[in-house]
Amino acid sequence: MNEPKENSMKGINSYSQELTREEMDKKLHRGFVGGMWEELGLLQFEFLRSRGLTPQHKLLDIGCGCLRGGIHFIKYLEIGNYYGMDINDSLIQAGKVEIQEAGLANKLPNLLVDDQFRIERFGTSFDFMVSVSVFTHLPMNSIIRCLCEVKKFLNKDGIYFSTFFQAPASIWMKPLQHHPGGIITNYDFDPFHYSVEEMTWIANLSGLNFKLTGEWGHPRDQKMAAFINCTEPGSSVQEKQL
């Protein structure tokens, strides 16, 4: 067995831990990204479809993990239009196995491992971006880095959807229990919570606008944020997309 490797999330969240081949063979990666494999995979897919995703769009899945949502997106999108990025190499490797098992290799998904959200490595820009259960594991500085990179590669009328745990007010230092799901979140350690005001502030620092979308049925009470960079009149981002 190889020595476990670690990445820059060491001490911040559990995704510095690389799974072994044996663990992947037992499909433990599905639990490592939070379980509810079918439910949460389909939920994110249906959400993006309801917000206008079509097979012709290019989608970037930031923190794609082992493709819980990715499998559904890859199946739906035209060849080559799915892009996934994650910090954890073992999850990307497990995702490649999931692609093979789902018979989707012919869809030519683009996957890469990166610990700095370097979207430029894909050499393209995007209509849609999504992160499910990623900001929930990230401190604010890492979210700002992510948003600054997103800003550079989000098409003019593009939208980045990302989930987070919502705090009722800023600098909410007490633990918070969320329902449904019962998850307890924290101000300065994983899993993290943020107020709408804090999300708005870091979006604006990064050159983006933030909007909280409506209820989307997440079983653990994660809220869905929409980030856009098109504030000019004539933008084709529709109110119903946000």
Ligand X SMILES: C[S@@+](CC[C@H](N)C(=O)[O-])C[C@H]1O[C@@H](n2cnc3c(N)ncnc32)[C@H](O)[C@@H]1O
Residue 225 binds ligand X (CB under 6 A): no
Residue 178 binds ligand X (CB under 6 A): no
Residue 222 binds ligand X (CB under 6 A): no
Based on CB atoms, which residue is closest to ligand X, 17 or 155? 17
Smallest gap from Cβ 239 to ligand X, in A, equals 26
- What part of residues 30-59 is at the interface with ligand X (CB under 6 A)? 33-34, 40
Q: Which stretch binds ligand X (CB under 6 A): 65-73, 148-156, 179-187, 211-219?
A: 65-73
Residue 87 binds ligand X (CB under 6 A): yes
Residue choice 88, 162, 166, 185 for contact with ligand X (CB under 6 A): 88
* Residue recorded with tokens 């994110």: 44
Return d(Cα 108, Cα 124) in angstroms, integer.
15
The beta strand positions in 63-153, using DSSP E, are: 82-86, 110-113, 126-131
The partner residues of 125 in beta bridges, in order of sequence, read none
Based on CB atoms, which residue is closest to ligand X, 130 or 228? 130
Question: Rg (Cα) of the chain, in Å, rounded?
Answer: 17
Residue 218 binds ligand X (CB under 6 A): no
Residue 68 binds ligand X (CB under 6 A): yes
Which of 184-193's residues contact partners 24+ apart within 8 Å by CB, and which partners? 185/136, 188/139, 190/12, 190/13, 190/14, 190/136, 190/137, 191/136, 191/137, 191/165, 192/135, 192/136, 192/137, 192/138, 192/139, 192/140, 192/164, 192/165, 193/164, 193/165, 193/166, 193/167
Residue 162 binds ligand X (CB under 6 A): no
Q: State the sign of the Cα–Cα–Cα–Cα dihedral 106, 101, 115, 241.
A: positive
Based on CB atoms, which residue is closest to ligand X, 67 or 199? 67
Number of residues that bind ligand X (CB under 6 A): 22
Q: State the sign of the Cα–Cα–Cα–Cα dihedral 202, 205, 206, 212.
A: positive
Based on CB atoms, which residue is closest to ligand X, 137 or 151? 137
Based on CB atoms, which residue is closest to ligand X, 15 or 83? 15
Q: What tokens were used for 172?
A: 């909410």
Residue 98 binds ligand X (CB under 6 A): no
Residues that bind ligand X (CB under 6 A): 9, 13, 15, 33-34, 40, 63-65, 68-69, 86-88, 91, 115, 132-134, 137-138, 142
